[in-house]
Each structure stands twice: as structure tokens, then as C-alpha cells.
Homo-oligomer: A and B are copies of this chain.
């Protein structure tokens, strides 16, 4: 299946299918230089496929550490200097083969190498169905996640679903948070449908029909980002669950989606406190427990340190913390939330995770 962005110009295709990698060739055969950035874990399992691409295109292959550890300024410096030592021209394409972190890092290299070269996203996780689309690239600061970065559109997203077969369940859970978030942004029937389809660990683990839900998720995202690429307005909705989630992820170094799911719960509580909503928090926590999300980390939470991290969220303005809330399922809004309300929500939140 193939989707395509609908910006006024510089659109790019998103190919979502098994064997999607077969299409890669046509997007890269005109470049002088190709550089692959491959997540070390992905390379371990898929090195034959990847080495075939490398030799077919006489490409450079860089194996980079898995996960967020690559997204530092020092690794960025080391890598871009290494790239520049190869006398690349602007007619170069960087290809990211890995999860969200690999894509963010490679994309930021592409955005800043020689004032910008092309890049292609080859996501290998469920989580990266989200991060590979939309052009957000970046690395982490010691003050928070993704605070150094750019908007730099990929030339193509080649999403080969074969990669998903070898994902550990923890990674499936992390990715599923964004799929679920897209359903929450879509509407009540999407949520009912997906909760029924993936009702527990066993069904989610098998990823039956995941193509459909990934496709729907990407479509939901595309509808938003083509209207507001630079996140001045409705693109903020995609941060549902992320204000609290990023703080948790940053402090406790847990997988992105695990943290976002906690952020989604937190947001429902804040909605109940500040909007005219009456979400059944038990329903959502029970669902996440049925999927077997590991939430032991909640025992370590301390409001003040999470609050300090929430203050650094990019959505904030002069009036303090802004949070995406659901007025109703399928209808998001961005609201300023006072510290007092956040404290109150936090106290309620932890009661749902007491042992």
C-alpha cells in the first residue's frame, strides 16, 4: 500500500507493505553517494538484506547503537565529522534503517550536512510508523528530549513490515502506544475497534492485521501534518500523552510508548478535572494491564521532578505548561494546565497504580 503526502510541493511517498524494501532501489539509484545508518540490533538480524543493499549501491554502512543513546551532541559531532571526511557532495542520500531514534538521528544529520541533503526513512519498528512520517528530526539535550532538531522531510518512507516479525514484545508495546493514540485522535469507533482487536497480550503479540492499523495511524497523522507542518496549531494534537510521557521517558529511560501510554492516562485524568468529561480511568488502566504494559516505574514517580521536565516541553508558552486533552474521543484541544491541577491529577494518577 502506498500513501503520499499532500503538501503544496516536495511531497513524498510512504510505502507500507511486506517486501517494501524491494522499492528502495528506484528512490536511490540516482545519487552519487548513499550512506546507510543501521541500528545495531537490526543489523544483527537483517545484515544479509542490508549488506545486499550496501554492495548493490556501493554505499557506506554505519552501524549505530540502538535507541536514544545515539541522539547526543557528542555522537552527532563524531558522526558528521566522519561523514564530512568522505568528501560527500550534496548529491548524497542518507538512509535510516531502524527505529525512531535511528530515524531522528539520521534525519538531523541529513538536515545539517552541507546545509541539507536528502534522506530516506526505513522504519523497522511499530513505533517508527509515527516518527518516520512528518519530517521531525533531532537529538536530545541534557535538558530534555528532542530539544535540538529541525523539520526536514524525508524523500521517501519505505516501511517493510517484514522487520516487525522479529520485534520483542516490549518494543511492540512501545509502538502500539502511538497506534492507539492515533485511534484516540480518530474517534470512538476506532478506539472500540482496536481495543476489541487487540484485547490482550496474546492478540497483540501476533500483530494480526497490523498493516491496517498502521495504515490508519499514518493516515490520521498525514491529515494533520499537511495542514500544520511546523506545529504552530493542530499538529500539537499529535502530542497527546507526550507532555507527561516525555518527562517520564526522560527521567526513567523507559521505552517511549510505555511512557506515552502513562501520559495518555494522565491526560484523561486532567481532562476529567478541567473539562466537562467523565472518562472511566479504570477502563483504560485495565486495558493497558491486559496488554501487560510494565508499569512498576510508577512507584518511583515524584511530582516535582516530572513537573520540572514538563516545564521544558516545546509546546509551552509564557503561560506555562500546555497539554493536549481530549474533550471527547476524537476531539483534541490544547490547554494551559496550572501546577495545582497537575498536582491534583498526579495524586489521582498514582492511586491507579498502587500495588
Contact = CB atoms under 8 A, between A and B. Distances in A.
Interface of A: 32, 73-74, 77, 80-81, 84-85, 87, 89-91, 111-116, 136, 138, 141-144, 146-151, 230-231, 311-312, 314, 316-318
Contact of A89 (B32, B80, B150, B318): B318
B316 A89 contact: yes
A150 B116 contact: yes
B318 A112 contact: no
Given A84-B148, A115-B314, 17 more contacts: A32-B317, A32-B318, A73-B73, A77-B77, A80-B148, A81-B143, A85-B143, A89-B314, A89-B316, A90-B314, A111-B150, A112-B112, A112-B150, A113-B147, A114-B149, A116-B151, A116-B230
A90 B149 CA distance: 12
Contact of A115 (B32, B138, B316): B138
Task: Pick from A114, A143, A150 the residue with the most CB of B within 10 Å.
Answer: A114
Contacts of A151: 115-116
Given A90-B314, A114-B314, A144 B84 contact: yes
Nearest to A312: B87
Nearest to A316: B89
A351 to B, nearest CB: 30
A113 B116 CA distance: 16
B115 A136 contact: yes
A145 to B, nearest CB: 11
A32 B322 CA distance: 15
A81 B318 contact: no
A90 B322 CA distance: 13
A233 to B, nearest CB: 12
A314 B142 CA distance: 32
A304 B85 CA distance: 17
A311 B136 CA distance: 32
A85 B148 CA distance: 12
A101 to B, nearest CB: 16
Given A81-B141, A81-B143, A87-B311, A115 B150 contact: yes
A150 B147 contact: no
A149 to B, nearest CB: 4
A74 B147 CA distance: 17
Contacts of A316: 87, 89
A57 to B, nearest CB: 14
Nearest to A8: B8
Contact of A114 (B111, B115, B147): B147
Nearest to A149: B115
26 contacts: A32-B318, A73-B73, A73-B80, A73-B81, A80-B141, A81-B141, A81-B142, A84-B141, A84-B147, A84-B148, A84-B312, A85-B143, A87-B312, A89-B317, A89-B318, A90-B317, A91-B318, A112-B138, A114-B147, A114-B149, A115-B136, A115-B138, A115-B151, A115-B314, A116-B230, A150-B150
